[in-house]
Amino acid sequence: MASSVTSTSAPASKDRSAQPFDRSTLEQTLTKRFFYAPAFSLYGGVAGLYDYGPPGTALQTNIISQWRQHFVLEEDMLELDCTIMTPAEVLRTSGHVEKFADWMCKDLKTGDIFRADHLVEAVLEARLIGDQQARDAESGTTSVSAETQVKEDDSKAKKKKKKGKVVAVKLDDAVKAEYSSTLAQIDNYSGSELGEIIQKYGIKAPETGNDVSPPVEFNLMFESSIGPTGHLKGYLRPETAQGQFLNFKRLLEFNNDRMPFASAQIGKSFRNEISPRSGLLRVREFTMAEIEHFVDPDNKTHPGFARVRDTTLRLLPASVQLGGKTEVTEMSIGEAVDQGIVDNETLGYFLARIHQFLIKIGINGSRLRFRQHMKNEMAHYACDCWDAEIHTSYGWIECVGCADRSAYDLTVHAAKTKEKLVVREALPEPRVTDRTVVEVNKKVFGPRLKKSAKVVEDALMAMSEAELESLRKALDQADGVEVKGTDGQGYKVDKEMVEVKRITVTEHVREYTPNVIEPSFGIGRILYALLEHAWWVRAGSEARGVLSFPIAVAPVKCLVQPLSNHSSFTPLVQEMASLLRSSGIPAKVDTSSASVGKAYARNDELGTSLAVTVDFQSVKDRTVTLRERDSTEQVRESVEEVVKILGSLVRGEKEWSDIRAEYPLFTQQATE
C-alpha cells in the first residue's frame, strides 16, 4: 500500500502547465482563504509567528493524521507527548545551551540587529546584481529586475529594509568569483569566519552604511523561569527529541526490552530566530514530528528493508557537493546502500519511507531530493545526516532531516545523571575474552599516597587497555613510574602499589548504548511546500486558482450545496449531509446565497475535492450532480449512488478516472 512511488494526485497536466507559478498570487489566495496569517497583526504583528485558519488547520491535521498512520501505526512506534518547558540543566547536558546558537551583528550606531550570514548574503548578492546591471549597461542589454532577484523577506523584515541595496557597480572578475564562492558556502562558516568576510569585503549595515559589530553568538532558545522562586531556569524545547531520550528506560521496558524500536512525537517546538523570513519556512514556533529509532550500533540492518529496496530516490551525496556540483543521482535505495552511498539499511529504510510519505500527501517527486550534509553544517549531535529537500519558489528547502545521532544523547544524559541508559542483552552463548586490568594494593597504595590516593586510582581506572599495557611494561622495567592523577599532578607508583595483569572474562550479557536514527519533520515547511506544489491557475476568462490536494489531506473532502437558497432544496441538502456524515465522509454544507459557479471557484481555492449540488431536477428525481475539482467533470446519479461513489473516493479505493469510466459524464448543466 505504501510502496507507490509516483503521485496519483496530479490533475490534468496540460492545464497545470498553462501558467507560470506566481508566488504573490498564491499568497493572496492563502490570505484571502485564511490558510494562515501573521499572528497578532491587530497589534502590529511579530515576525516569525503565524496563526493557521480553518483550511490551514484542517490541512495540518490531515497531514499529521497521515503521518501518524504511515509511521506510528504502520511501524508500531511508541508515541509520546512530552513537556515543552524544559529545565536548563537538561539542555545544558544535551549541548543546546552552549551550541544551539546563530551569529548576529549589530549596527554600531542604530543598534539594529542582523543575522550575520543573512547580512553577508544580502550584501554580496546585491553587489553581484549591481555588477550584472553594470555589465548589461555596458553591453546594452536589459537586466532582469534587481528587486525580483534579491531574496524576498517577510513583511516585518521588509519594513526594516534589511535587503541589500543594489547599485550598478562592475566588479573585478576575480572578486565576482570570490563572492559567488562565498555565497555557495554560506551555511558552512563559523562566527569568526563570517567576521573575517565582513572585514575583508567591507560589509556595512545595508540601510545606514554604518559599521557592524563582529559576530557574536545568540542562543536560539526562548528562556523562562519555572515556579515562583525565579531560581529554576527553563527553556522552551528547540526539538521534541530530548523528551524521548529522557524516557528511554521507560520506553525500552514498555517494549518488553526488545530492540530495535522507535519512539515518536508530534508537537510544538520553539526557536527564537534572529530575523525570521520566508513566511512559514523560518518561524519561531512550529510543529515537528520526530522519530527516534533506537538501534544496535553493531547491527543497523532493518527487517523492513526488503519492502522498500526498490524505491527510487534522487540523491545528492556530500562527496558530489564537495566537488562543487549539485546534480542528483537517481537510484534505488537498495543500490545506494549496497554501494555505501547511504551508510546502512536503517538509514536507507527511513529515507525511503520519508519519500513515500511525502509523495502520498502530494509533494511532486521531481521536486524532491535527498541531500547529505557536509561535515561542517551538521548539528552538534549528528554524525551523518540526509535532508529531504523540497523545491519551492524560495529554492531547495530542508523539510525533513534524517540524522544519525549515534549514541551522543543517551551517553551525555547517562554521564550527567549517573543513570545507565543502556540495553542489556543475554548473549546467545557466553563470550570469553582476555583483558588487561589494573588492581590497587590498598594496604600500600592508600598510606603512601594519602589524600591523593583517590585522584591516582581514578586515573588508573580510566586507562585504556593500551595505556595499561604500556604501564605494565614501564613497571617491569623501572622501579617507579610517574602517573598523572585526575588532578593533573604527577604521582609515582610502583609494583608494590599496583598490579597490572591479564585476565580472562566470561560475559553472559552484552551491554550497549543504542545508536539513534532520527527522522525529523518540519510540518509547517512541508505544508507550505505542498501548497506551492498543489497550486495552479485554471485557464479561462479570468485567473482562477486551484489547490489540487490529494483527497487524503484535502481540508474538506466534499461540499454539499443547493443551486440557490430556494427553500425547496433544503430537505435534500440536509438529507445528503446526514447520509454522508453517517457514512463517515466529512462534508461541509454551504447554504450561503453565492451562485454555484462562485461556490465552485471558492472551493477550488480551498482545495475541496468534490462538490454535490442539489438542483430543481434533484427535487423531482433524487439525483444530484457530483463535480470533481481538478477536471471540473461531473456525473449525475441518485443520492444513494453518489454517497457510494464518495465513500470509495474518500477511502482511496477509487480515483476519479475510475468513476468517469463507470458512469456517464453529465455535461448539460452549465452552472460554471
Closer to its own copies at the Cβ: 214 or 446?
214
In the shown chain, the binding pattern of residues 94 to 133 toward its own copies, with x for contact by CB under 8 A and - for none, equals ----------x------x-x--------------------
Q: Contacting its own copies (CB under 8 A), which of 75, 89, 136, 633?
A: 89
Q: Backbone phi, then psi, for 317, in 5-degree steps?
A: -70, 160
| Separation CA 434–CA 148 (nearest Å) | 69
- Minimum gap (Å) between residue 285 Cβ and its own copies: 6
**587, three cell numbers:** 462534508
Q: Choose the binding region for its own copies from 14-22, 69-77, 314-322, 332-340 (rule: CB under 8 A).
A: 69-77
Q: How far apart are CA 63 and CA 614, in angstroms?
A: 31
Query: Please, are residues 45 and 155 in contact by the beta-carbon 8 Å criterion?
Result: yes
Supply the minimum distance, in Å, between the C-beta of residue 292 and its own copies: 13
In the complex, minimum distance from the CB of residue 120 to its own copies, in angstroms, rounded to a whole number? 17
Position among 11, 56, 215, 607 found at the interface with its own copies (CB under 8 A): 56
Per-residue binding string, its own copies, 190-219, x by CB under 8 A, is ----------------------------x-
Q: Is the Cβ–Cβ distance between 567 and 538 less than 8 Å?
A: no
188 binds its own copies, rule: CB under 8 A: no
Please report whether residue 58 would count as binding its own copies according to CB under 8 A: yes
CB 636 within 8 A of CB 666: yes
78/128 with CB nearer its own copies: 78
Of residues 591 through 610, those in contact with its own copies by CB under 8 A are 592, 594
Write out the binding residues for its own copies, residues 357-376 only, by CB under 8 A: none
Region near its own copies per CB under 8 A, out of 84-92, 448-456, 529-537, 632-640: 84-92
Smallest distance, its own copies to C-beta of residue 521, A: 16
Give the H or E element holding residue 348.
helix 345-360
Return the closest-CA partner of residue 244 out of 23, 409, 45, 7: 409
Closest to its own copies by CB, 262 or 449: 262
**Shortest gap between Cβ of 89 and its own copies (angstroms)?**
6
Using omega within 30 degrees of 0 as the cis cutoff, is the peptide bond preceding 519 cis? no
Residue of 6, 28, 61, 141 interacting with its own copies (CB under 8 A):
61
Q: What phi, psi does 415 have (nearest 5°)?
A: -65, -40
Q: Which of residues 415-444 bind its own copies (CB under 8 A)?
A: 417, 419
d(CA 250, CA 552): 34
From 40-48, 198-206, 391-399, 493-501, give the range in contact with its own copies by CB under 8 A.
Answer: 40-48
Q: Is 81 in the site for its own copies (CB under 8 A)?
A: yes
Nearer to its own copies, 115 or 127 (CB): 115
Pairing of strands 610-614, 558-562: parallel
Q: At what angle do helices 523-534 and 23-32 cross, to 10 degrees?
A: 110
Distance CA 588, CA 282 (A): 33
User: Interface with its own copies includes 236 (CB under 8 A)?
Assistant: yes
CB-neighbour burial class of residue 537 (10 A; exposed 0-12, middle 13-18, buried 19+)? buried
| CB of 188 closer than 8 Å to CB of 318 | no
Among 353-361, 429-437, 459-467, 576-584, the segment contacting its own copies (CB under 8 A)? 576-584
The answer to whether residues 263 and 251 touch, using CB atoms and an 8 Å cutoff, is: yes
